[in-house]
Amino acid sequence: MNKKLAVNLSEVEIKDLVNRILIQPDEIKRCGKNYYIRSRKARVELTVNAGNYRLITASKYTEVDGF
């Protein structure tokens, strides 16, 4: 995640970030077999598998990115 988000967070900080996004998401969209969960404040989109709820990836996004 550090590489994808261009940050340098510890494992505990990454877990905290993911938990904060999952607790108060701004947008959630299901597309096929994945959920896309966005946080405007963190400017992060999480991709979660809809079958097993496993985090696939995290990526930065901007408001101009379509949802």
Q: Note the pLDDT of residue 53.
A: 95
- DSSP lists the bridge partners of residue 57 as 47
CB 23 within 8 A of CB 41: no
Q: What is the pLDDT along the chain (67 residues), one digit of tens a residue?
A: 778 888 898 989 999 999 999 999 999 999 999 999 999 999 999 999 999 999 999 999 876 655 5
DSSP H or E segment with residue 22: helix 11-23
| Phi and psi torsions of 64, nearest 5° | -75, -15
Q: What does the pLDDT read at residue 55?
A: 94
Q: What is the pLDDT of residue 64?
A: 61
Q: In the chain, where are the structural domains located?
A: 2-60
* Tokens of residue 23, six digits: 């607790």
